[in-house]
Amino acid sequence: MLTIDEILSRGVSEVIVEANVRRKLNAGKPLRLKLGIDPTRSDIHIGHAVALRKMRQFQELGHTVVLIVGDWTAQIGDPTGRDESRPRLTVEETKSNAKYYMDQVFKVIDPAKTEVRWQSEWFGQFDLEKAFGLIGRFTVNQMLAHETFRKRYEAGQQLTVLELMYPMLQAYDSIAIKPDIEFGGTDQKFNILAGRQLMEQMGMEPQDVILVPLIIGTDGRKMSKSFNNSVDILMSPNDKYGKIMSMGDDVLPVYYEVWSDAPLAEVKAMPEAIKTGSVNPRDLKMQLARDIIRQLDGEAAAAEAEAEFIRVFQQRDLPTDMPEVALSEATNIVDLLVSTKLAASKGEARRLIDGGGVRLAGEKIGSYDSLIQPIGEQILQVGRRKFVKLLGN
């Protein structure tokens, strides 16, 4: 188990106010740890889950996570980091997304030490008098200090009064549940501090704040599904393992700091060790992949994913489990790559062919016009990790 010093420093960008947090931890009283979840998202990746992993460390010390499902603010849409308004969700969409979201969240935090609250518990009975009382505690100047709001205002882009209310409503969540500490990414600092300020205004002990970093994707860019550089919580263990093994050497220390318990001195020494060749980056990636999959899917899944990776990519065997697709007529390779989901679009399919990454029965395909005939079983492969078994007549 990590020490308090390690918990408050490792994989943490900022603690507000650290002396208060230490005092609370040393008092021995169970703490309430707030995290708001945005049910406008569907899949979450391990970048989103850095805060969850940090909260799991607090749970192991006996503290309680209070998850607030933003079913009310989801109907506004979190404006943080967005340069345009976002369409509002219906109540039904919000509930469906929230259930799917929590299925992923509970792969990281302990549900037995988690309290789930819905904003509609307090906002469902929020009348106009209460709304005016809340809005009156914030100023337009204060809201325009929010970087996203300020940039959109200065650029002459649409900025609705409804969006300006998002930080206010998130702040009021803290009044409703009385947390000791709120957690979030660095992009949530403005909203979280608004909760701290509101609690103080209303005569409550203000929540302290723990902000975690927004980690980069496996290729060094911002982590995003659109860049295909994210490791998603609900990916199969085999896909998680393969994605981690494909990451750049330079991002390894970042992932080790926030997703492993390896000694921090070893983590900080990794760049030099990789540079001098005293450690093989492949071995570091395999260890990291095992560790992340163990945390999310269990020991058995981690061992199976590693065995499959070794069998397929180190011993050059075919995977034991691959999708099967019936092929009843000759089909253009570009169309086939898209229909089998080996490529997201025809443009991507052509780029894969140009790059030499498409093979049929082990033979490279070099033309967009290639027709794939429906003859028995054939293995269609893209890159090193994607396979489909074609079943012909």
Both 234 and 89 in a single domain? no
Whether residues 196 and 273 share a domain: the answer is: no
Q: What is the pLDDT of residue 227?
A: 79
The total domain count for the chain is 3
| Domain assignment of residue 218, yes or no | no
Same domain assignment for residues 195 and 272: no
Is the residue at 217 inside a domain?
A: no
Q: Which residues of the chain have pLDDT under 50?
A: 83-85
pLDDT value at residue 80: 54
pTM (two decimals): 0.75
Q: Does some domain include residue 141?
A: yes
Containing structural domain, residue 12: 4-212
Give the pLDDT of residue 319.
Answer: 75
Q: Which of 7, 39, 44, 10 is nearest to 26 (CA)?
A: 7
Which pLDDT value is given to residue 376?
A: 74
Same domain, 175 and 112: yes
Distance separating the N- and C-terminal Cα atoms of the chain = 58
CATH no. for residue 147? 3.40.50.620
Residue 330 maps to a domain: yes
Same domain flag for 29 and 137: yes
Residues 230 and 371 in one domain: no
Residue where a domain stops, chosen among 182, 212, 242: 212
* 74 and 204 belong to one structural domain: yes
Q: Do 57 and 192 fall within a single domain?
A: yes
DSSP strand pairing (363-364 vs 377-382): unpaired
Whole-number pLDDT of residue 83: 45
Residue 319, domain member (yes or no): no
291 & 374 share domain: no
Position 206 scores a pLDDT of 95
pLDDT digits (tens, 9 = 90+) for 53-76: 999 999 999 999 999 998 887 766
